[in-house]
């Protein structure tokens, strides 16, 4: 289960080792080991948030093996953020699942949230729910093609990283992650549109590591199972 030391959360089991800084959700989960194989720490499930968080404003605890983190309403985004982090292992697959909930105290805001990894976009490919390839949208693109599955394939590596969501209206976007120089990556955009006071939006995203062999078929099968899983209504 998760271990919480201050604002640093760690998950460690036979199949997965990962670490998360609660003050930097934009840095994502740092996966360090998969199926007993050391991994050069790969940041995944990065939330593209602009404002840093402060420890005094967080509410974080572990409940039934899950890590629960609540962030106050952000001046930039206009919404409050509630995250539930879960780790899972179904050998040879292992990864992290994130349930995201947002709401606002303002009468109405225009919202969106980009979630992704730091893999170079040249190594990534998005797919629709029916398995068709998807091209990423750019800043100049008004509307993107629906996308629920992204496969990231680092060169000369035995594993593939897959990110999947059943969120309504999710699209694949080009994202510049902070760095020197910035990283050109892909991100899944969710919650895109108007959010009104009294309305709660919730979505689930899963990031998983799997063997490279026949990875498209494996990931697609997991994606279809994931889409059929009833949504979790508690948070």
End-to-end CA distance of the chain: 18
- Sequence-distant (6+) residues with CB within 8 A of 46 are 25, 26, 27, 28, 115, 116, 117, 118, 177, 187
Question: Are β-strands 16-21 and 8-12 bridged in parallel, bridged antiparallel, or unpaired?
Answer: antiparallel
Residue of 183 and 23 predicted with greater confidence? 23
Q: Assess whether pLDDT exceeds 60 at residue 181.
A: no
**Average of per-residue pLDDT across 118-140:** 81
Q: What separation in angstroms does the CA of 35 have from each of 20, 27, 130?
A: 19, 23, 29
For the stretch 84-111, pLDDT in tens is 999 998 889 999 999 999 999 999 999 9
Q: What is the mean pLDDT of residues 141-165?
A: 87
- Joined together, the tokens standing for residue 172 give 């694949």
Q: Is the model's pLDDT at 138 over the cut of 70?
A: no
Q: How confident is the model at residue 69 (pLDDT cuts 50, 70, 90)?
A: very high
Measured at the CA of 181, the angle between CA 176 and CA 186, to 5 degrees, comes to 25
**Based on C-alpha coordinates, what's the Rg of the chain?**
17
Residue among 213, 208, 211, 212 at smallest CA distance from 225: 208
The arrangement of strands across the sheet holding 8-12 comes to 2-5, 8-12, 16-21, 29-34, 37-44
Q: Where are the domains of the chain?
A: 2-228
Which CA distances in Å does 61 have to 31, 100, 131, 169, 209?
21, 16, 38, 31, 26
Residue 210 has pLDDT above 90, yes or no: yes
Question: Tokens in use for 96?
Answer: 């992290």
> Cβ(209)–Cβ(163) under 8 Å?
no
pLDDT number for residue 139: 57
Residues near 35 by beta carbon (within 8 Å), at least 6 away in sequence: 15, 91, 92, 94, 209
Give the per-residue pLDDT at 36: 84
| Domain 2-228 in this protein, CATH class | mainly beta
């Amino acid at each position: 289960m998760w271990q919480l030391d201050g604002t640093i959360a760690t998950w460690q089991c036979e199949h997965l080792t990962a670490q998360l800084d609660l003050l930097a959700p934009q840095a994502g989960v740092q996966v360090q080991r998969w199926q007993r194989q050391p991994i050069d720490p790969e940041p995944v499930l990065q939330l593209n948030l602009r404002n840093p968080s402060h420890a005094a404003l967080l509410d974080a605890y572990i409940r039934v093996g899950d890590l629960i983190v609540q962030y106050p309403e952000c001046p930039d985004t206009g919404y409050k953020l509630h995250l539930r982090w879960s780790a899972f292992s179904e050998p040879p697959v292992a990864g992290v699942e994130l349930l995201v909930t947002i709401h606002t105290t303002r009468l109405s805001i225009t919202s969106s949230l980009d979630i992704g990894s730091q893999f170079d976009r040249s190594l990534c490919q998005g797919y629709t729910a029916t398995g068709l390839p998807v091209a990423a949208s750019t800043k100049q693109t008004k509307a993107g093609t629906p996308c629920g599955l992204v496969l990231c394939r680092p060169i000369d590596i035995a594993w593939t990283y897959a990110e999947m969501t059943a969120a309504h209206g999710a699209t694949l976007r080009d994202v510049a992650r902070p760095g020197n120089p910035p990283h050109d990556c892909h991100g899944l955009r969710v919650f895109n549109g108007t959010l009104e006071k009294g309305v709660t939006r919730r979505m689930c995203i899963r990031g998983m590591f799997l063997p490279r062999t026949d990875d498209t078929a494996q990931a697609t099968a997991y994606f279809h199972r994931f889409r059929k899983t009833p949504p979790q209504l508690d948070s």
